[in-house]
Amino acid sequence: MNARIRSVAVVASAALIPLFGATSAHAVDTSCPSNGYITNWDVCTKLSNGTLYLHETSKGTYVDVEYGKASGSSVSCKLGYLRSGTNHWSPTVTCSTSYQQNYQWSPSATCNPDVGLLYSGGTTFQTPPTKNC
């Protein structure tokens, strides 16, 4: 396979990752307003060892939950979101201070609020609810 075709294949594969609920690493961003509302569809919770975020579209057809661990040792964790009384979870991953863990979903449209979730060490942490529609 020549270099140009290989480059196109890599870019195309990377573009499909969010469509299939994959995790990926991001640079750690620990900014979060005290009320937890960045926008109506972007919410966060500052935790003692990092920040939990939920980002989504206005009708909730794309949901991205991220956890930026700022201190402490690596832990096993699951990311998720709560919608209409049902929790939706990622597989268990390792959360560490070196990168921000995230997981995406593409659910059906709704005007119901969503809540970002982080499960680690037997405790579930959550963001404030989004303000959809």
133 occurs within a structural domain: no
36 occurs within a structural domain: yes
- The 10s digit of each residue's pLDDT in 21-40 is 444 444 444 589 999 999 99
122 occurs within a structural domain: yes
The residue type of 120 is S
Residue 79: closest CA among 62, 112, 47, 54: 54
3 occurs within a structural domain: no
- The 10s digit of each residue's pLDDT in 111-124 is 899 999 999 999 99
The residue type of 44 is C
Q: Does an H or E element contain 10, and which? A: helix 3-16
13 occurs within a structural domain: no
- The 10s digit of each residue's pLDDT in 8-25 is 333 333 333 333 344 444
Q: Are 66 and 26 in contact (CB under 8 A)?
A: yes
pLDDT at 99: 83
Q: Are 39 and 57 in contact (CB under 8 A)?
A: no
Residue 86 has pLDDT above 90, yes or no: yes
Residues 6+ apart with CB under 8 A from 118: 47, 52, 65, 67, 77, 78, 79, 80, 124, 125, 126
Total count of domains within the chain: 1
39 occurs within a structural domain: yes
pLDDT at 23: 42
Provide the domain limits for residue 105.
20-126
Residue 77: closest CA among 62, 63, 89: 89
Q: How many residues does the chain have?
A: 133
Residue 52 has pLDDT above 70, yes or no: yes
Task: Please give the average per-residue pLDDT across 85-112, as a whole number.
Answer: 94
pLDDT at 16: 36
CATH number at residue 53: 2.60.40
pLDDT at 8: 34
55 occurs within a structural domain: yes
More confident site: 1 or 59? 59
Intra-chain end-to-end CA distance of the chain, in Å: 47
- Helix then strand then coil, in percent of the chain rounded to 5, is 15, 45, 45
12 occurs within a structural domain: no
